[in-house]
Amino acid sequence: MADKPQENALEKAEKAAGVGASATPLPPQPQRVRFHGLITLSVMAATIMQALDTTIANVALPRMQGTLSATQDEMGWVLTSYIVAAAITIPLTGWLAGQFGRRRVFLISVFIFTVASALCGLAESLPQIVLFRFLQGVGGAALVPLSQAVLFDINPPKDFGRAMAIWGIGVTMGPILGPALGGWLTENYSWRWVFYINLPIGVLTLVGLYFTLPESRNAQGSRFDFFGFTTLSIFITALQLMMDRGQLLDWFSSREIVIEAIVAAVAFYLFLVHTFSHPKPFLNPHLFQDQNFVASNIFIFVVGVVLFATLALVPPLLQTEMRYPVVLTGLVTAPRGAGTMVAMIVVGRLVSRFDPRMIIAAGLALTAFSLWQMTQFSLQMNTWPIIISGVIQGFGVGLVWVPLSAVAFTTLPAHLRNEGTAFFNLLRNVGSSIGISVVFFLFTQNTQRVHASMAEHITPYNFIGNSAAAAFNGSGMRGLAGLDGTIFNQAAMIAYIDDFQLMMILTLATIPFLFLIKKTRPAAGSHAVLD
């Protein structure tokens, strides 16, 4: 009988790390650190700072438009430049951390983000603020995935749920509190303060990380896969531009959108072929040998769609259709964050005791129920339905987020966590971008359709309500304009309800896919294995 060929060094390393085809990945012992609490506080400050900035500038755009003498279409690039820069840089995070060390990359990212925030506040023209927002996106991209990776490394697997509860509070509270804080700063001070607020947080974060954060032990140099990075960057950029510009250009009726779609499709195809054929690709294919990691990424994509699409829909509903001022809109939507915070405090203790799949299912069910409540919204309601549905939805999202993050990385080897967390957050961002674009496209289409349908049935003898009757009884064009405005408000409300219903169905449809996640159980040595 012929001797079996000897295993090479790479195969031995892969088996030891648990990344072989049949091996079970086992994470190592947590990294020993002296200042556990200060490290957690510092990385969470970085997370909150970055997450807050993704939405805080939105409410200040009208004021910025006047100061910078820009059109509404041009102001869209203030948001797009940040999103595109972050989307390109996020996949690069894993390689940079492995090449130069996680600590160094973290510190440089915080520094770039803080300086860029100051420059955004000082901007005097549209090109300046677009450039500075791009730099801000470059610096902010690495903060969320690296903070997540740090928390995984300094905590044992049994505490992953608690660690992700802390991390999730920062990630979800930013988008929720951003509009309220941005509106208050803009109303009471200036739009420039939505950027200046990052300065003290950034300085304190830099000091905290510099004196407490140790270097990652899995920092290793590797040859940079330029082709893989380029194709992935082109795909993400083209996709983000298509999602962002599609609403303005009527989607595929525009040549620009068609070109961006073709470029995205070709770049994605080339990236996939290259990843699974190149010996050392930009994105390690061993990531996708972990079933729980793959399944969790599918779910985080859906969470990104539902959470951020809802966050994007509710403020314009309140401000445009129900005439809420900016500050009141922020105060009414803020309790959603309270629900998320409570859920994460509770679930951090439950993850180690109960099946994470059951917790995720409960969270998805609560989220779907809150979306059903939102389908009952009307223009005549008070603030309580908004607050109650928001709290329930926040609680549901919190129940999903923490166990999902823990499950995704419990069985993933430590040397893959930098890339894993980067990819995990990239999918969340892509999901949010796609979700926001789709719901606003459907909103516009449904509003126009319902408006036309309602208008053609309106006569002096067939009113749609007392407000319409009063408007119609007005004199001349003024009365007709009032009537049209009333019809449009009703049509817009129906379109919002249709969007909420669609997201409810999407949320419920994801629950059966929980069988893709395998249950993890603690093993000897604080490892985790799959049942």
- Listed by start position, the domains of the chain span 30-212, 225-281, 283-531
Per CATH, the number for 283-531 is 1.20.1250.20
d(CA 283, CA 95): 9
What is the per-residue pLDDT across 170-222, written as a single tens digit (0 to 9) for each?
Answer: 776 666 677 778 778 877 888 888 889 889 989 999 998 888 887 765 545 56
- Contacts of residue 371, defined as CB under 8 A and 6 or more positions apart, other chains included, come to 306, 310, 389, 393, 500, 501, 503, 504, 507
Cα Rg of the chain, angstroms: 24
Percent of the chain with pLDDT over 90: 11
Lowest mean pLDDT among 62-76, 255-269, 312-326: 62-76
Residue 372 has pLDDT above 90, yes or no: yes
Q: What is the pLDDT of residues 373-392, one digit of tens each?
A: 999 988 888 889 999 998 99
**Greatest mean pLDDT range, 84-88, 136-140, 165-169:** 136-140
pLDDT of residue 259: 93
Q: How confident is the model at residue 99 (pLDDT cuts 50, 70, 90)?
A: confident
**Closest of 109, 7, 121 to residue 60, by C-alpha:** 121
- CA separation (Å) from 162 to 159, 348, 402, 414, 484? 5, 4, 8, 18, 53
Q: Band the pLDDT of 2: cuts 50, 70, 90.
A: very low
Mean pLDDT value across residues 354-369: 89
Backbone angles phi, psi at 280, to 5 degrees: -135, 75
* pLDDT of amino acid 11: 41
Average pLDDT on 368-375 reads: 93
pLDDT at site 14: 39
- Distance, CA of 452 to CA of 491 (rounded, Å): 9
Instruction: For residues 197 and 114, give the distance between their C-alpha atoms in angstroms, rounded to a whole number.
Output: 10
Q: Confidence band (pLDDT; 50, 70, 90) for 8?
A: very low
Do 30-212 and 283-531 share a fold?
A: yes
pLDDT computed for residue 25 by the predictor: 42
- What is the chain's mean pLDDT, rounded? 77
Residue 426 predicted with pLDDT over 70: yes
pTM metric for this prediction: 0.72
In sequence order, what are the beta bridge partners of 523?
Answer: 527
CATH homologous superfamily of domain 30-212? MFS general substrate transporter like domains (1.20.1250.20)
**442 vs 60, more confident:** 442
* pLDDT top residue among 15 and 287: 287
How would residue 166 be classed by pLDDT, with cut points 50, 70 and 90?
Answer: confident
